[in-house]
Amino acid sequence: MLNHDAPFTQLLDDATIAQSVYGDGSADVITKVEAGRNVVVLTLFDELSAVALTLQPPKGGEGTLRVASVDVTTAPNASLKLDLQRTIIAAIAIAGEENFNSLLLAQLAFDAMAALQDTRVMDALVARSDGAATCGPGVDDAMAPLAAHLSVYSTPVQTCRKSRFVGHAAAVASESEVASVLAHLRTRRSLAAATHPAIFAYRFADASGVIHSDFDDDGEAGAAKRLLLMLQQRKVDGVLIVVTRWFGGILLGPDRFKIITEVARDALVVAGRLPVS
């Protein structure tokens, strides 16, 4: 039986505001008991997907809510379902739960759902293209396999004057692991269609303690050296960071380097290599 104490009532009121803003066709709120705790489930809908956010009152009274779970209940396929869940969880990690209320959280989820649709459109365009010149180098009928012990963490899409940026990070300990992750990313159809699919830098120590590092601009002159400098300054080793950029037709000037560095830093946060700031 639900016990509507003050923190829970505040949380329910907060979620109800989000529901009223987006309307019954796009948002739904229910309450229930889960693992002995009162929770609010805020479910968001668009044309392709449904996302259920299970919310709890915050621990220690900090903020309005705590996100207990993110469940994608509807998506076009299993792969996109997982991608959407990871994107929302990554955005929460970057922003920090203490900064959220239900309305901001709903906007974050809807942004991720919209980005998912953009990716599906981009994948469809690449799938219909006639050759590798349009798709970019390294595109095949399927993504290059990634070794089971390797994981790639990606950020939500960041947009600036029609250009789109995504950061990726993976723990690596050898040149072969660097090559494996890069091949995996470059053969993602949506990334291979980007203007600069893989601006990257890496840094790791071998068994003898010798530091190995390198970088590549992938056509965005001057960008990758900044990524390596960030790894050196923050003393982050054993990691590869990659930034993908889709050029939107408007020259960004020096701003592009700031955004490339920001999404790379965000990728390190998502991967647990830097604290949330």
Residue 114 tokens read as: 């919209």
What does the pLDDT look like over 7-48, one tens digit per residue? Answer: 788 888 888 888 887 776 788 888 888 877 888 899 988 767
| β-pairing verdict for 66-74 and 163-171 | unpaired
Residue 238 tokens read as: 């054993």
Residue 13 tokens read as: 């009121």
In the predicted model, is pLDDT for residue 173 greater than 90? yes
What does the pLDDT look like over 189-216, one tens digit per residue? Answer: 777 778 888 999 999 998 888 999 999 9
> What span, in angstroms and rounded, lies between the C-alpha atoms of 80 and 72?
10
What does the pLDDT look like over 214-257, one tens digit per residue? Answer: 999 998 888 999 999 999 998 999 999 999 998 887 888 888 89
Which residue's structure tokens are 């459109």?
121
From residue 184, alpha-carbon distances to 39, 46, 227 in Å are 39, 30, 20
At 261, the pLDDT band (50, 70, 90 cuts) reads very high
3-class DSSP assignment, residue 92: helix
Q: pLDDT averaged over the chain?
A: 79
Domain locations in the chain as residue ranges: 6-122, 133-270
Residue 126 tokens read as: 């690449």
The third-level CATH classification (topology) of the domain covering 6-122 is Ubiquitin Conjugating Enzyme (3.10.110)
Per mean pLDDT, which range of 40-44, 85-89, 127-131, 268-272 is the poorest? Answer: 127-131
| β-pairing verdict for 50-56 and 37-45 | antiparallel
pLDDT of residue 111: 76
Is domain 133-270 given the CATH code 3.40.800.10 in the classification? no
The answer for residues whose C-beta is within 8 angstroms of residue 269's C-beta and 6 or more apart is 93, 94, 275, 276, 277
Which residue's structure tokens are 């349009």?
134
At 265, the pLDDT band (50, 70, 90 cuts) reads very high
Per mean pLDDT, which range of 19-28, 152-161, 174-183, 228-237 is the poorest? Answer: 19-28
Contact 243, 237 (CB under 8 A): no
> What span, in angstroms and rounded, lies between the C-alpha atoms of 242 and 2?
47
The answer for residues whose C-beta is within 8 angstroms of residue 97's C-beta and 6 or more apart is 58, 63, 65, 66, 67
pLDDT above 70 as % of the chain: 81
Residue 191 tokens read as: 């990334």
Reported residue count of the chain is 277
